[in-house]
Copies of this chain bind each other. A is one copy, B any other.
Amino acid sequence: MSGNSNDTAEAGPKRGWREYLNAKLGLRNFWYAACFSKEIGENDVLVRKILGEGILLRRVHGQVRAIRDRCIHRGVKFSDKVECYTPETITCWYHGFTFRWEDGEVCSIFASPESKAVGTQRVKVYPVEEVNGMIFVFVGDENYTPPPLSHDVPPGFLEPGIALEGESRVVKANWRLGPEGGIDEAHRYLHRESPLLLDGRKSMPLGHKAAPTQIELVEEIDGPKGIIDHFRAEKMFFDAQIDGKTVVHSPNFGLEGRQAVSSSAWMPACARVLGFPDAGLTLFEWYVPIDESSHRCFMTLTKLCSNASEAAEFKDQFNLRWSPLALDGFLVQDVRARESQQEFYANELAWKQECLLEDDKIIMEWRRLCSRNNRGIQLPEHLV
């Protein structure tokens, strides 16, 4: 294990993390979940802060567009008084700067119709993709050609026939504590009394000793980048001892009763857990940076459905069963842990002082993976 030593980020087991450590505001030039489709009806607008940037979304003729929520002229927020005279444009309520949603171009300035700015100046626009009931925006450099969405979501997410249900909430913790908690196999102790486990008679070891084949890196050039924990253990511990005395016992229903099949983390910031909260279901949990000290967590469950009635049944199941048991009764325990970690990790020195275990190797590899494959780091100067 590392930590409590004089390791710097450049030496020892912590070598190769530098970009990750700098990325407190997030990784640039990736696709990020912005909201659920159901949150923006036709002609609706919605503001979201992502990587510190205020972004205004609007749906017109069914399609969602996104622009920087700030007029280029004098900096007021469009969202303070939304004025859309045509489906293709938004007009700033202050001087009548009018921008095209499609490319951000200034197409009219009511205060100064003959200005040279018309047709030459632009507000930042964000590429948008809508899939599985979720809306993704690409946040980064304007001259960066976005990769296909498939590179920035976990494998399987775009499979046809997927039905998705979910909720989002703001978590008062840096975004990096999201995927790190998601990939952390060693925290099952936290969940031992989760109603989800008790209800489902699921067995979950309190600890394990990793097998050499436990971790798999996925790092193809033309695909998602991630790290998979295959839950392969040399040993599993269902009892916990202090001074030789068993103090906690977790029931072992055998492999058939395992809660999940594998967990994984994917760039930029998503965890996937196959078989969670039940066989045939998959958890995709998205941790979207808001600012340095908070992120929006989208807790989403998917199921491959062969028709609409199966999807409708899954929706009922989600509302009646998984929302209370798997989200409120299990995933929210992790949310509380992330918020409890924030005071410590808000201090940049914490990343050198933490005392990681052998079982945290996957977290260390995840940090290196993000550092190697980052496409840019969001910095305060990007917010102007």
Binding site for B on A (CB under 8 A): 1, 3-4, 70, 72-77, 80, 85-86, 88-89, 91, 93-96, 98, 107-117, 121, 186-190, 206-209, 235, 237, 240-243, 245, 247-248, 336-337, 340-341, 343-345, 347, 349-350, 353-359, 381, 383-384
User: Knowing A206-B96, A247-B86 touch, does A108 contact B240 (C-beta < 8 A)?
Assistant: yes
Instruction: Contacts A75-B343, A108-B241, A381-B349 given; indicate if A357 touches B94 (C-beta within 8 A).
Output: no
The answer, among B74, B235, B243, B341, for a CB contact under 8 Å with A76, is: B341
Find out whether the CB atom of B340 lies under 8 angstroms from the CB atom of A76. yes
Nearest B residue (CB) for A352 = B384
A85 in contact with B242 (CB, 8 Å): yes
Partner of A111, one of B70, B186, B235, B383: B186
Q: Is the CB of B357 within 8 A of A73?
A: yes
Residues of B within 8 A of A75 (CB): 340-341, 343-345, 350, 354
Complex copy number for this chain: 3
Residues of B within 8 A of A241 (CB): 108, 113
Cβ–Cβ contact B190 & A247, under 8 A:
no
25 A-B residue pairs with CB within 8 Å: A3-B121, A72-B354, A74-B354, A75-B343, A75-B344, A75-B345, A77-B340, A86-B242, A86-B243, A86-B245, A91-B247, A95-B190, A108-B242, A108-B243, A110-B237, A111-B186, A111-B188, A111-B206, A111-B359, A112-B209, A112-B357, A112-B358, A112-B359, A347-B383, A349-B381
- Is B89 in contact with A242, judged by CB distance below 8 angstroms? yes
- A248 touches which one: B88, B110, B209, B355 (CB < 8 A)? B110
Residue of A80, A115, A336 most packed against chain B (CB within 10 A): A115
Contacting residues, chain B, for A188 (C-beta < 8 A): 111
Q: Which chain B residues lie closer than 8 Å to A91 at the CB level?
A: 242, 247
Q: Which residues of B contact A109 (CB under 8 A)?
A: 207, 357
Chain B residues whose C-beta falls within 8 Å of the C-beta of A235 in the assembled complex: 114
Closest to A76 in B: B340
A76 to chain B, nearest CB (A): 4
Residue of B nearest to A355 (CB): B72
- Kindly list chain B residues whose C-beta atoms are within 8 Å of the C-beta of A240: 96, 108, 110, 113
Given A111-B206, A206-B96, A245-B86, do A116 and B341 touch, yes or no (CB 8 Å)?
Answer: no
Known: A108-B242, A112-B359. 15 other contacts (CB 8 A): A1-B115, A70-B344, A73-B356, A75-B343, A76-B344, A85-B247, A96-B189, A98-B242, A107-B242, A110-B207, A110-B237, A110-B248, A113-B241, A114-B209, A117-B357
Instruction: Tell me the smallest distance from the CB of A291 to a CB of chain B, in Å.
Output: 12
